[in-house]
Chain A
Amino acid sequence: MTRIKQLLTKGQASWNLILIGLLVLEFVVFGAANPKFLRPALLFTSINDNLPVFMIALFVTLVMVTGGIDIQVASLVGLTSITIGVAWQDFGFSIWAAVALAVLICIACGAFSGFLIAYCGVQAMVVTLGGSFLYSGIALLISTLSSTESYQGIGGFPEEFKFIASYQVFGAIPFQLLIYVAMFAIAFILLHKTKYGRKVILTGVNAQAAEFSGINSRLVIMSTYVLSAVAAAIAGIVLTAYLGTAKSDLGGSLTMDIITAVVLGGTLSTGGKGSIIGTALASFAIAFLKFGLPLCFKVGTQYLNIPVGILLVAVIVGRSAASSTGYLSMLRTLVSSKVGNGPKVKA
């Protein structure tokens, strides 16, 4: 009983348990419906397909913890991809120089948007909306510099670049998954174990209070947009290597998936509260849902927006209902009163 009480009183920890429950449920239901679902090779494929979302969502969590939002990251994926392709194929860069150039451009883009949000006081939603137009537009313009038609995509990358996506550690674990694990560790340590993370959270709770307690909250806000842009750049590199082609519109439709993962992971869209573990668990839950439904129940892939959307809506409504009308506290008192009535448990 006390365990249940703990579960309900500790916000994020209990939410993570619910997400783990969701994951277990998916494994049981999908595994029972079609044992193929449980094959490691297939599971890794489903993870690989969604890795860009996973990676970006980790660092968009930081942005949302500061109370902002970043809808430009999806356009940065395409910008990275096309920059690598054009710099490598048409400007004679070595592949790693092209990658470095793409990352630098993304950092500049993230810093530009972050600067406008933090130092000019423009709403994050508007700036990143403008950014998504601007950066996808720049990506399109870069693609016209290439001798290859933009709809074809630039292919034929050297082996050492494709290695990022094709190499398998111990012959089973995809190398790109290890990149994700490293990014997860960095994001987790940054947000939950360092002074920087504390500053991010305090800025999200109350930017003014943070400013008065000696935190350069503007710099903190700006830095989160740079971090999410770097994550988008890495996702763009991995996706380009994975697909083997560079296109300007890669990742253009990822925005909804990214924000769904972050919000489903328990990060408050108003800022001040968020969890990297939650984001990671939620992104896995969505990825397996999107993988399992077509495989086990023959749901067409175009229809997958429906379950993901319903999941997002249900979670957001459930959470705000629980916090505004006090369902959670009602449950809590219900549990504690039962605990109190129990003969051998001390309150």
Chain B
Amino acid sequence: MGRIKNLLHARSMSSFAFLVILFLVVGLINPAFLTPSNISACFNTSVVYTLVAVGMAFTLFIGEIDVSVGANLGLVAAVVGSMLRDGQSMGLAIIVGVVIGAMIGLINAWGVAVMKAPSLIFTLGVNGVLRGIVYVYTNGAWVENLPKGFKDFSSVTAVGDLTVYYCATIVLVAVIQLLLVRTKRGRYFHAVGDNAQGATLVGLPTRTTKILAYVICGVMAAIGGIIFCSRIGFVTPASGNGYEMKAIAACVLGGISLLGGVGSVVGSAIGAVIMASISYLLVFMGFSSNYDNAITGIILIVIVVVDALLQRRAIVKNRHARLAARVSSGTEVAAAAMEKAQEGGEA
């Protein structure tokens, strides 16, 4: 029973509830939405966001950030796309793509974990460089004429209307979540993000954990790039632009704090579904897709503000409970000191 209670109290649970409510509200406005194929479509379109957001979650867990994932995705998509177009084998292309992602992750890790540069700015610079490299590599042209089999594979369904890609992603997210929660090394990420110095003091490999987080983030963005290629069917030099911001937004919607140490990959996956389905839902509610960005922004701001206010209330409530407990058992002196402390806290 305790386990179920824990599950219900998890931060990702409120995002899941939000997603369900969102679907129900849209269903109330337009009952035509509530069919398995429509709901599956929401999940299917989110697959690239989910992969990128899950990778991003690792860098957020350790209290850093990676805004180079968008260009990373674009570069991998361009390289893999052009390799497949030129008749290279699928396996080789995928390996090259993943290796590129891992290399980018290593570069970011070197800057952030080894050279101790501020992560936002370092990865912003890397993002610019990668974006330029995409132009150099593609010469500004689109990568088109991908093999038909590769493109068609994106619409192959596995369970019901869910595509193979999404089902594989769900399995991947579940495995990652289990590894994070059940293994010692998996716990390191949150520990490092919660308190890096404390983690070092108790003997955790802080630097290795940070490097690992960036490599995972790079690899996830690379896998996202490969699937992007397959789903969209062509790659422009600007492909992947803005994915970094959408991924961060998805993580925040999923209950991950940018301060580090809080949240789960399941949350970021749910956040990615919310992000991806907003434009789809708008169509069913009779709005044009022009509302997409505005609604996304409002949802994001409302969720983080409510979260921050709830957390603040919880802190105040805890403090009152602690003080009240001390009053009931302590002497008058303690009570007086406590009152002073309370005044100090309120000032």
Interface residues of A (CB under 8 A from B): 69, 116, 120-123, 125-127, 129-138, 140-141, 144, 256, 259-260, 263, 269-270, 300, 302-306, 308-313, 316-317, 319-321, 324
Contact = CB atoms under 8 A, between A and B. Distances in A.
A136 B293 contact: yes
Contacts, number: 150
Given A134-B298, A260-B124, A305 B309 contact: no
Given A133-B249, A310-B129, A302 B304 contact: no
A313 B68 CA distance: 12
B131 interface: yes
Contact of A134 (B111, B248, B257, B294): B294
Given A123-B259, A126-B258, A133-B297, A256 B127 contact: yes
B17 interface: no
B205 interface: no
A138 B249 contact: no
B136 A321 contact: no
Contacts of A130: 249, 297-298, 300-301, 304
B297 A135 contact: yes
Contacts of A321: 115-116
B132 interface: yes
B308 A69 contact: no
Given A141-B294, A269-B121, 4 more contacts: A133-B296, A136-B293, A313-B122, A320-B116
Nearest to B258: A123
A269 B125 CA distance: 14
Contacts of A269: 118, 120-121
Interface in B246-272: 248-249, 252, 257-259
B167 interface: no
Nearest to A131: B297
A308 B312 CA distance: 41
A324 B116 contact: yes
B60 to A, nearest CB: 11
Contact of A309 (B115, B126, B257): B126
Given A134-B298, A141-B294, A263-B121, A313 B132 contact: no
B127 to A, nearest CB: 7
B125 A316 contact: yes
A320 B126 CA distance: 16
Nearest to B71: A305
Given A129-B248, A129-B249, A140-B293, A306 B133 contact: yes
Interface stretch (B38-46, B210-218, B284-292): B284-292
The B contact surface, by secondary structure, is helix
A305 B296 contact: no
A72 to B, nearest CB: 9
A303 B132 contact: yes
Interface in B102-145: 111, 115-118, 120-122, 124-133, 135-136, 140
Contacts of A320: 115-118
B295 interface: yes
B65 to A, nearest CB: 8
A317 B115 contact: yes
A287 to B, nearest CB: 15
B293 A134 contact: yes
Contact of B305 (A116, A304, A317): A116
B237 interface: yes
Interface in B301-347: 301, 304-305, 308-309, 312
Given A122-B308, A127-B304, A305 B131 contact: yes
Contacts of A313: 111, 117, 122, 125-126, 129
Nearest to A312: B125
A262 to B, nearest CB: 9
Given A304-B132, A306-B128, A306-B133, A133 B294 contact: yes
Contacts of A263: 121
A17 to B, nearest CB: 22
Given A120-B308, A269-B121, A137 B132 contact: no
A143 B14 CA distance: 35
B180 interface: no
Contacts of B65: 125
14 contacts: A121-B312, A132-B245, A133-B245, A133-B249, A133-B296, A133-B297, A134-B296, A134-B297, A134-B298, A136-B297, A144-B288, A144-B290, A269-B118, A321-B116
Nearest to B237: A302
B111 A316 contact: yes
Q: Which 6 A-B pairs have the closest CB atoms?
A: A134-B297, A137-B294, A309-B128, A137-B293, A133-B297, A306-B132
Contacts of A135: 297
Given A133-B249, A305-B131, A312 B124 contact: yes
A300 B294 contact: no
A311 B128 CA distance: 10
A133 B292 CA distance: 9
